[in-house]
Each structure stands twice: as C-alpha cells, then as structure tokens.
Amino acid sequence: MSDRRPYEGSAKQAWTWGIVGFGAVMLLSIGVVQLIQGFSAIAEDKVFVVGAEYAFAFDLTTWGWIQVVLGVLALAVGAGLLGSRNWARIGAVIIASIGIVAQFAFMPYYPLWSIVLIAFNVAVIWAVSTQSDHGE
C-alpha cells in the first residue's frame, strides 16, 4: 500500500497549493501594508485625518501600535503558510478575522483603505478555509 494521497500530483493538489499560496501572499501583503499604516500613525503623519466621531475612538498612536503588531503577526503567519505549516492555516483565519475588526475600527482615519484591507482579509480567510488539505 502506498503512502501517497489519492490526489497527490494531481490537478486538485496544484489548485490547492495555488489557492493557499494566494492566501499566503495576500497575508504577507496585508502585513506590509499594516506595518506602513502603523508606522505612519505612530509618527502622527498627516496622512490620517479624523472625520466623524465614532464610539471606538482611540488615540492615533494606539491604532498605530495595533496595526504594527497585526502586521508583524500577519507576516509571520504568511511565512508559515508559504512554509506549509499546519498551524499557519488556523493562524491565518484568526489574524485575518482580527484584521477585519481592526480595519473596521480604523475606518474613521482612512475609510477607503480600510475597506480594501477588509476585502483582502476576507480573501485570505476564503483561500485558507476552502481547502481541506494542501498536500502535507
């Protein structure tokens, strides 16, 4: 009896690797953008303008540190996905879910970019959760 999975080397495995790879690259991209966003907020850059008052108002520096921490975690989990680590798939869903909430709360500072990052995080969740196995 062979140790190979029935679809190993098949088109299904190639699609699975491709979609999980897409999720990994998206998560790495999100991490880089969150780092840039976070460092800009920490430096109190004039890029962010506060519009309407929201119930979840934090100091811009606080949001900057939240974005930096999420960015570092997204980069680590994205690298884990590229390295085919099992923990990274669960971590990607958790980090992307937290990222959606964080971007929703960051919306008063930069609404359009927050919406784009929410969509990217949804794409990551879809990519890593629709695949039952990626060939380990």
Residue closest to 90 by CA, chosen among 125, 135, 134, 133: 125
Mutual orientation of helices 11-42 and 86-106 as an angle, nearest 10°?
40
What single letter denotes the amino acid at residue 22? F
Q: Name the CA dihedral angle for 77, 78, 82, 85, rounded to a multiple of 10 degrees.
A: 20
Q: CA-CA distances (angstroms) from residue 4 to 11, 21, 77, 106, 135? A: 15, 22, 27, 46, 10
The pLDDT tens digits along the chain (136 residues) read: 445 554 555 665 666 667 888 888 999 999 999 898 888 888 865 666 555 565 556 677 888 898 899 999 999 999 998 888 888 889 999 999 999 998 888 787 778 888 999 999 999 999 888 866 544 4
